[in-house]
Amino acid sequence: GQQLNQSPQSMFIQEGEDVSMNCTSSSIFNTWLWYKQDPGEGPVLLIALYKAGELTSNGRLTAQFGITRKDSFLNISASIPSDVGIYFCAGLEAGGTSYGKLTFGQGTILTVHP
């Protein structure tokens, strides 16, 4: 089935640094989503991307839907301690029997040192 490779698996950064993480897939997606999950909480939708090439920002977060529709990246600028958490990419398929299937990446664990 569809596989999403998310990297890096974990990051340890200093407060104020910029962060970049990405996801790649073996096939195309019609929608790319980025979520953040804090311990004991549900995933929170950060950014949704619906068109190839789309670049969208949400405060200090910026995400792009790759032109090939097989990849996406998320950047966080000027990190702060509350950015700590697990970030997931997810892709939505629109073809055939996989219509509406949401596939998640393995997650990137972000640690921010004050």
Partner 1 sequence: NAGVTQTPKFQVLKTGQSMTLQCAQDMNHEYMSWYRQDPGMGLRLIHYSVGAGITDQGEVPNGYNVSRSTTEDFPLRLLSAAPSQTSVYFCASSYSRLAGQYFGPGTRLTVT
User: Which positions lie near partner 1, rule CB under 8 A?
Assistant: 30-31, 33, 35, 40-45, 48, 50, 88, 92, 94, 99-102, 104, 106-107
**Cα 75 to Cα 13, 17, 49, distances in angstroms:** 13, 11, 14
Integer Cα distance of 63 and 56 in angstroms: 5
- The amino acid sitting at 47 is I
Please give the Cα distance from 1 to 100 (Å, whole number): 14
Q: Which is nearer to partner 1, 40 or 114 (CB)?
A: 40
How many residues in total does the chain contain?
A: 114
Cα distance between the two ends of the chain: 40
Q: How far apart are CB 29 and partner 1 at their closest, in Å?
A: 10
For the bound state, the minimum distance from the C-beta of residue 102 to partner 1, rounded and expressed in Å, comes to: 7
Q: Would you say 43 or 66 has its CB closer to partner 1?
A: 43
* Nearer Cβ to partner 1 (13/24): 24
CA 53 to chain centre: 15
Q: How far is the CB of 13 from partner 1 (least distance, A)?
A: 24
Minimum CB separation from partner 1 for residue 14, in Å?
28
Q: Measured from the CB atom, is 87 or 88 closer to partner 1?
A: 88
